[in-house]
């Protein structure tokens, strides 16, 4: 059986900005696949190439074995795309907008009414469908976008950051809906910079950084590969650097401690990697009290996807996110995209 989506050695630049340098991944039929990465990593560009909205410089893109480059129309019929932001006519009602969209997808006239009603019901939009979309909240708006992406019953639904800016309740609605879609056999490809979103939803994922894939696998495979547990320790609420260094020296001598970093950005807290299952917390507390160092807080956790990103890039996704948002000219990008 052909892969639902195959992307191989994709490359795409905007002028001299290499948005995607070399991205490859495969999405199997019926799975939720996540593309995780900070803003600017190349997720949207990859998705736009897949959905035939941007022309790649190089690489192979297939949907169900069909080339997106040679047969863009056939590929568009198989894909539903829910973009990050959609500019819509706010005067139309949700129902009118869906009907218009259905006509653009060339759905048979007879089936448009039924399909629209069905999606309005499935997405819980009955109370909103006949109100103008300009009155919708972000969560309702996103549900309408999902309905629009599903009108032509695509084999693969592609969503670009579907929960950005949504409150927790709306986010849950989207998550549950995507899980139900998967149960019903639709393949889902979702991009996100939210670790917990990809961790909760994705059967498999690729982590993207600066236009390349830095890790691929199931969430647990990627986390287990790192090995060990994470411990965050604060000696005091704001620990003097010398004291943190002293604690580091003591902790490094413990046999179950694999690595210690003093995190200067976080008030000189200490980040440790320890061998799992060693009753580490009490041993750490005891070793510190023997040299009269207090413990303000101490917490142990399994590795997260952020640790996977950190191990591969040397920074957290949040740090990369902040760095990216200060260096991009979004107005200029929009202009270039229109070309």
Report residue 333 as tokens.
Answer: 């990008």
From 4, 5, 34, 45, residue interacting with ligand ATP (rule: CB under 6 A): 45
Confirm or reject binding of residue 52 to ligand ATP (CB under 6 A). Answer: no
323 sits near ligand ATP (criterion: CB under 6 A): no
Q: Which stretch binds ligand ATP (CB under 6 A): 36-44, 241-249, 277-285, 292-300?
A: 36-44
Minimum separation from the CB atom of position 339 to ligand ATP (A): 8
* Nearest distance, CB of residue 175 and ligand ATP, angstroms: 19
Q: Tell me, by CB under 6 A, how many residues bind ligand ATP.
A: 16
CB-wise, 83 or 293, nearer to ligand ATP? 83
CB of 5 to ligand ATP, least distance (A): 16
| Shortest spacing between CB 41 and ligand ATP, in angstroms | 4
Supply the minimum distance, in Å, between the C-beta of residue 222 and ligand ATP. Answer: 19
Nearest Cα to Cα of residue 216 among 228, 229, 203, 227:
203
> What is the pattern of x (binds ligand ATP, CB under 6 A) and - over residues 272-311?
----------------------------------------
- The contact pattern for ligand ATP, residues 158-177, with x = CB under 6 A and - = no contact, is ---x----------------
Q: Which residues bind ligand ATP (CB under 6 A)?
A: 14, 17, 19, 37, 39-45, 161, 328, 333, 336-337
């Amino acid at each position: 059986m052909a892969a639902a989506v195959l992307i191989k050695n994709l490359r795409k630049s905007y002028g001299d900005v290499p948005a995607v340098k070399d991205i490859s991944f495969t999405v199997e039929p019926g799975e939720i696949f996540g593309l995780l990465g900070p803003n600017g990593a190349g997720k949207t560009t990859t998705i736009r190439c897949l959905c035939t909205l941007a022309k790649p410089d190089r690489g192979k893109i297939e949907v169900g074995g069909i080339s997106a480059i040679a047969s863009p129309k056939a590929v568009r019929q198989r894909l539903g795309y829910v973009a990050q932001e959609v500019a819509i006519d706010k005067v139309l009602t949700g129902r009118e907008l869906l009907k218009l969209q259905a006509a653009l997808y060339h759905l048979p006239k007879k089936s448009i009414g039924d399909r629209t009603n069905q999606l309005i019901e499935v997405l819980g939009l009955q109370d909103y469908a006949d109100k103008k979309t300009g009155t919708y909240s972000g969560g309702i708006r996103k549900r309408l976008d999902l309905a629009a992406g599903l009108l032509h019953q695509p084999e693969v639904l592609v969503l670009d950051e579907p929960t950005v800016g949504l409150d927790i309740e709306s986010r849950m609605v989207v998550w549950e809906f995507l899980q139900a879609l998967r149960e019903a056999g639709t393949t889902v490809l979702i991009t996100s910079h939210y670790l917990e979103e990809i961790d909760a939803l994705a059967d498999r994922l690729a982590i993207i950084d600066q236009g390349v894939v830095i890790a691929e696998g199931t969430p647990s495979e990627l986390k287990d590969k790192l090995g060990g547990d994470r411990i965050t320790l604060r000696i005091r609420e704001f620990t003097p650097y010398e004291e943190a260094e002293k604690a580091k020296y003591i902790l490094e001598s413990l046999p179950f401690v694999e690595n210690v970093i003093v995190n200067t950005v976080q008030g000189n807290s200490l980040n440790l990697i320890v061998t799992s299952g060693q009753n580490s917390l009490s041993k750490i507390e005891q070793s510190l009290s023997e040299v009269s160092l207090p413990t303000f807080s101490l917490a142990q956790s399994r590795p997260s996807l952020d640790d996977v990103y950190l191990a591969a890039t040397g920074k957290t996704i949040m740090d990369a996110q902040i760095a990216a948002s200060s260096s991009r000219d979004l107005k200029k990008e929009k202009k270039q995209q229109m070309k």
